[in-house]
Amino acid sequence: MEEKFIKQISLFAENKPGRLANIASSFKEASVNIRAFTIAEAGDFGIIRMVVDKPEQAHRVLHDAGFTVSETDVLGIQMEDVPGQLATISEVLGKKGVNIDYAYAFVTKTEKAFLIIRVNDLNTAVETLCDEGIPLLDMNDVQNI
């Protein structure tokens, strides 16, 4: 089951100029490539969430740069880039009582779409999606996107 979890890097950043530049340049030096990225902003601060090709390295450089950073298990769902896909996924999870805490999506070169979600019950979510034949990404896939 756990091989289907994706390590997401999350960090706390004050909402002020230059913070993102600092993070990005740490990654540049460490050759960490960002696959998916989002900022949730809440007034004075923001939480930056991202999926990267080398999560351990990313965690270390951000921690060494003084950031409060954590690793969260999320799921990466592969979707066909056509209407109705998101509806299907959210419906099957909803029926099993799995709540999506947050989600973000991106489209790749291969004309697939990927949806990253954090859920309140990872195991049930993986089980449900597998039963429905909905493909999930693992860390290898993330590295090769």
Partner 1 sequence: MIEYWNPQIERMPLDELELIQEERLRHLVDYVYTHSPFYKKRFDEAGVKPEDIKTLDDLQKLPFTYKKDLRDNYPKGMFCVPDTQLVRYHVSSGTTGKPTVVGYTKNDIHEWAKSLGRALTSIGVGRGDVLQVSYGYGLFTGGLGLHYGAEEVGSTVLPISVGNTDKQLELMQDLGTTTLACTPSYFLYMTEEANDKGIDFQKDTGLKTGIFGAEPWTEEMRKRMEDATGIKAYDVFGTSELSGPLFTECTCQDGIHIWGDQFIVEIIDPETGETLPEGEKGELVITTLTKEALPLIRYRIGDYTILNKQPCECGRTHPRIMRVTGRVDDMLIIRGINVFPGQVESVLMKIPEVGEHFMIHVDRINEMDTMKIQIEMNDEAFSDKVNDIIFLEKKVASALKSVLNLSVGVELVENGTLPRSIGKSKKVIDNRKL
Determine if 14 is a binding residue for partner 1 (CB under 8 A): yes
Helical ranges in 4-138 per DSSP H: 19-29, 55-64, 85-95, 122-131
Contact stretch for partner 1 (CB under 8 A) within 27-35, 37-45, 51-59, 86-94: 37-45
Contact stretch for partner 1 (CB under 8 A) within 64-72, 80-88, 89-97, 125-133: 64-72
First and final C-alpha spacing in the chain: 21
In 1-145, the DSSP E strands lie at: 6-14, 34-42, 45-52, 68-80, 100-107, 112-119
| Nearest distance, CB of residue 81 and partner 1, angstroms | 27
Rg (CA), the chain: 16
Structure tokens that stand for 140 in this block: 């290898």
Determine if 59 is a binding residue for partner 1 (CB under 8 A): no
Residue 123: name the closest of 93, 85, 87, 95 by CA.
93
Contact stretch for partner 1 (CB under 8 A) within 36-44, 52-60, 81-89, 132-140: 36-44
Determine if 101 is a binding residue for partner 1 (CB under 8 A): yes
Determine if 10 is a binding residue for partner 1 (CB under 8 A): yes
Residues at the interface with partner 1 (CB under 8 A): 8, 10, 12-14, 40, 42, 44-45, 47, 49, 66-70, 72, 101-102, 118
